[in-house]
Amino acid sequence: MGKTVFVFSGQGAQVPGMGKSLYDNSAAAKAVFDMAERIRPGTLHQCFEGTKEELSVTINTQPCVFAVDLAAAAAVAEKGIRPDYVAGFSLGEIAAIAFAGMLSYDDAFRLVCKRAEVMDQAANEQKGAMAAVMKLTPAAVEAICSEFRQAYPVNYNSPAQTVVAAAENEIDALCAKVKEAKGKAVKLAVSGAFHSPFMNSAAAAMEEYLRTVELRSPEIPVYSNYTAQPYAGDYKSLVAAQVNHPVKWQTMVENLVQQGADRFIEVGVGKTLTGLIRKINAEVTAVNIETKEGLDALQ
């Protein structure tokens, strides 16, 4: 019997109106959204009626995407579908550890709000940019980054897609180098160079904040962005470290498949992770759930 994984969307997937269908049609999803609104008034308005520009601001993006992720997972669980494993991409990892029982939903939402605040602050202190590199191997991307003073591979998404972070004044030259190497680079509409040393101050602030939070052992194995393995040892250091270290998404998915996972349900906004999973392993089933229609079709 194959195993099911819930994968939680990350920052960048946000769209105006996200989560409204779930809010209107699932009591479990509505409860998550109402929790978020109670702690951070205005969250519902931003999710359901906010503009693309408003949702692109980190301090708005992270709480809103987190709320949709967790609401979607709650709605799927409400149908009686439970995962054998959970994993989240970047921000999505906080939703994953909450769903796995490591934090109460309230505490996890407050943690996300803090994470957004310190990452936004770090992004304003050190101007950086990000670009998705396609058609080149991770090793080729690493070699290109090594030619620059401040350029780092930060999201190992699939065999042919690696996201890089770089200083704002180096990103255009880096993209030109990618083109020279017969690759394709697309600059991302993000406000900072996430998952890189540009976020060192944010990771330190997260470590400090996490001293005030109790993390329980997971009820469901959670795969870590930082190690690409199940959470073990110092949980808090794993949560903080993923802020300024690469997301090892491809390795995480490969490790999950080795553990028998053959169905991946992307809970949250968009189909980004679903697409990446299919590129990593074409034999597994990957679907995304962000609306009532998707929920109704899920067996």
Q: Which residues are catalytic?
A: 90, 195
- Which residues are CB-neighbours of 244 under 8 A, at least 6 positions away? 195, 196, 197, 198, 199, 200, 202, 203
Q: Is 47 exposed, middle or buried (0-12, 13-18, 19+ CB in 10 A)?
A: buried
How buried is residue 54: exposed, middle or buried, by Cβ count under 10 Å (0-12/13-18/19+)?
Answer: middle
Q: Is 174 exposed, middle or buried (0-12, 13-18, 19+ CB in 10 A)?
A: buried
268: left (phi over 0), alpha (psi -120 to 50) or beta: left
- Strand pairing class (261-267; 128-134): unpaired
Phi, psi of 16 (to 5 degrees): -60, 140
Q: Can you spell out the DSSP letters for 85-108?
A: EEEESTTHHHHHHHHTTSS-HHHH
**CB under 8 Å, gap of 24 or more: what pairs does 141-145 form?**
141/178, 141/183, 144/174, 144/177, 144/178, 144/181, 145/174
Q: Residue 167: phi, psi to the nearest 5?
A: -60, 145
Report d(CA 47, CA 205) in Å as an integer.
27
